[in-house]
A and B are shown apart, each in its own frame.
Chain A
Amino acid sequence: MAMVEPRSTKYRVLASHLGMLAFIAIILFPLLMVISISFRSGNFASGSLLPENPSLEHWYLALGIPYTGEDGVTTQPPFPVLLWLWNSIKIAVVSAVLILALSTTSAYAFARMRFAGKGFVLKSMLIFQMFPPVLSLVALYALFDQIGNHVSWLGLNTHGAVIVASLGGMALHIWTIKGYFDSIDRSLEEAAIVDGATTWQAFRYILLPLSVPILVVVFILAFIMTIMEYPMASVLLVDTDKLTLAVGAQQYLYEQNYLWGDFAAAAVLSGLPITVIFLYCQKWIVGGLTAGGVKG
């Protein structure tokens, strides 16, 4: 490349490397610290980043195994972390499947069919998407209270309620999938319809197989967003056994009952899989995220 380069470039490159490495060191400090803390013994221990005498006590407790220390005292696990993780995964998988199914069919109609009020509905969805559900929690609570009086598995303090409530946030996914459908040439489906296929068949056997990549992205996005959902789950779920991880995790850090070490192990245990999934899928996810601005 015939780039015009000033003489100082070498030093600037070096400075950039050093600057970025220093920045990364600061950024990673909290994460490394938590990993280190999870191996310290006791909940108030201080020490260096590399623990001098590592202990697995917090990891035992996080995995739900009672731990007997050197002094012979047995500690019971304070919270059912694995159960919370399982609850979170269960809720997130079911709602991601539902969200994917419903938003794909809707996106198909929006991308391929003509009908009254299409533009209006699409735009309204974008606007309503921005309203935070925290503000209508009183109404949502009343709604599920009413439904629960007649359909018990959808009432308050059920996972069904959290799953169904997550369906309110489909607009973003519909837009993402619709954008992808728009980029696929529609002449393929038209040819199929000319040959006698129904609209549903054109959708099911032609468009869907071509759209697998975006469906994967939307599934993962919906999964992660449901796992991280906090306000609605915190109001709808009550029993300790039913909590999701996002709601339960904060119970470690109450002023009266401060379990810093136990929290660290639980945080690493439950945060790691989600982080790895995210990093693995990041190049697909980023494209989907820029469409809506859902985080940060």
Chain B
Amino acid sequence: MKIRRCRGATVINGLTTMITETLSSPGIESRHSMTRVFLKWGALTALVGAALYLILALYAQREFVFAMLFLVLTASAVAVFVSKKLYAHRYIFPAIAGMGLFVIFPLMYTVGIGFTNYSASNLLSFEQVQENLLSRTYQSEAVRYDYQLYKTDEGYVFWLEGEHQNLTSTPVNLEAGERSAPVLPVSGKPQGEPLSIREIIQLRGQLSELTLITEDGRELSQASLRSFAAIHPQFTLHDNGSLTNNQTGVTYFPDQETGFYRDGDGNALSPGWTVNIGWDNYLKVVTDPSIRGPFFEIFVWTLSFAVATVVFTLALGLLLANLLQWDQIRGKGFYRTMLILPYAVPAFISILVFKGLFNQNFGEINLVLEGLFGIRPDWFSDPALARTMILIVNTWLGYPYMMLLCMGLLQAIPRDLYEASAMDGAGPVNNLFNITLPLIIKPLMPLLIASFAFNFNNFVLIALLTGGAPDIIGASTPAGTTDLLVSYTYRIAFQDSGQNFGLAAAIATAIFLVVGALSLINLKLSKIKV
């Protein structure tokens, strides 16, 4: 130790001399620092400019939350890199900003969504919904023209026959992508033969996008293969915020409680917009039987799964670690490498391997079981068996980690304790419960809690192995008997019809609380000093 430090010190002395020598040549230093200052401010200005552009663009699109997020980020970046007082914070800023942007902000955003009805049916903001509805059009029944199409050298010419007047268009080059053309009143048909219906059908793509504009500015669009009709806006906006459907005459009022336009009878107009609905999502979890039942079942299974995993992996890991610590055993290196193999193989591969091996029809496990005992268990369609399979796979995946932990801790136990107990005639079981466990349980506790929290949220295992199957009967949201709370939340948010982001976020918030509590306990237990 002494020698090492001495050598270190010499190296350092040499280094510092080198550094100070470089720094003390005056000419180089001043020129150098001028360029550096210039570079520093240039880079800062460019970055701030880019950030401000992003913020303004977001603001213009009414994405206030995101504009705010980037404003805070940019402001703190500038503060940290300009202020001399915050020098230390320059080192930690990128890491903290990364966590803030990709962990803390999404977390808060999710908690926020939990209080809204954000879902596939209420995806947009109120302004976007209004814009969407006001841009809708319908075709008039009253103003309608039968048409014929003539091909000329300059393009296609429309001949429209109406009740009061006949119109003809300037030549339109449909093939070149022209999408609008004026039409004028005339008395005589164009020369030549009109196109046949078959030729018109071949042009239907271009025709459906074409708008013909009359002298008084009215727009006509294709209504059928034989007719063009005037386009009217579907809705008219009134000063009190209500919308009237010009076609049916029904008036819809905005309902800010549920995020829909509704008529007098309560019929809703789709799409809806996102509104704050307070604690409704949480109430739904507690009161709606088609959600409460599955939620409770999944919650209990999640807890039992996490506890069982920790117990099984710890028991197996501790046993193996004890065996590997035993002086009488030879070939420890070989055993150790073989035993940690499940840990070394990437989890996403080994989980899929098990999915194939457990396959009910062609899986090797059922082939072996049938050969030996004549049984073919339904690993994926029977809830109890599916859960058993998940525990088997997760124990396989997790025991090497526990074994490695225990091996480290066992090495710290003084040997003479076992020597003394052997003198007293104690066996291995006595040793385990009276010496080993009491001594390792304290340092092991935080790691066990971390393992519990990890497995409580073991999304990858469920997503890749069963996907939650078999399904719970009578659930209104996607829910399976092997789903953990996380995969349940994921399915509510991202699977098929529902896409109920609000409900998913509410459940996610509940899980955040559980995880937060666990990690606080962990922090207390491990007595971390900073």
Query: Using a CB–CB distance below 8 Å, which chain A residues touch chain B?
Result: 1-6, 9, 12-13, 16-17, 19-20, 23-24, 27-28, 30-31, 33-34, 37, 44, 46, 102-103, 105-106, 108-110, 113-115, 118-119, 121-123, 125-140, 142-143, 146, 149-151, 164-165, 167-171, 174, 185, 188, 191-192, 195-197, 199, 201, 205-206, 224, 227-228, 230-231, 234-235, 245-246, 249-250, 252-253, 258, 260, 263-264, 267, 270-271, 274-275, 278-279, 282, 286, 289-290, 292-296
Contacts and interface: CB of A to CB of B under 8 A. Distances in A.
Contacts of A28: 338, 341
Interface string B377-417: 00000000000000000101111111011001000000000
Contacts of B356: 37, 253, 260, 263-264
Interface in B467-504: 486, 489-490, 493-494, 501, 504
B434 interface: no
Given A113-B88, A168-B102, A260-B356, A136 B109 contact: yes
Interface stretch (B217-225, B229-237, B238-246, B344-352): B344-352
Interface stretch (B13-21, B161-169, B283-291): B13-21
Given A17-B329, A139-B106, A127 B523 contact: yes
Contact of A13 (B63, B92, B328): B328
Contact of A103 (B95, B486, B511): B95
B338 A196 contact: no
30 contacts: A1-B327, A4-B419, A4-B423, A13-B329, A24-B339, A27-B341, A30-B353, A109-B88, A126-B528, A128-B104, A131-B516, A132-B457, A132-B486, A134-B490, A136-B106, A137-B494, A138-B113, A139-B110, A168-B99, A191-B16, A196-B23, A252-B352, A253-B356, A260-B356, A293-B401, A295-B401, A296-B343, A296-B402, A296-B451, A296-B454
Given A143-B66, A146-B58, A192-B16, A168 B422 contact: no
B interface, by DSSP: helix, strand, loop or mixed?
helix
Most buried by A among B398, B401, B505: B401
Contact of A110 (B92, B327, B397): B92
Interface in B338-380: 338-350, 352-357, 359, 362, 364, 367
Given A126-B528, A170-B95, A295-B347, A150 B54 contact: yes
Most buried by A among B106, B454, B516: B106
Interface residues on chain B, size class: 35 or more
B121 interface: no
B404 A290 contact: yes
Given A20-B335, A165-B102, A282 B91 contact: no
Contacts of A113: 88, 91
Interface string B94-119: 11101101111111011001000000
A146 B67 CA distance: 10
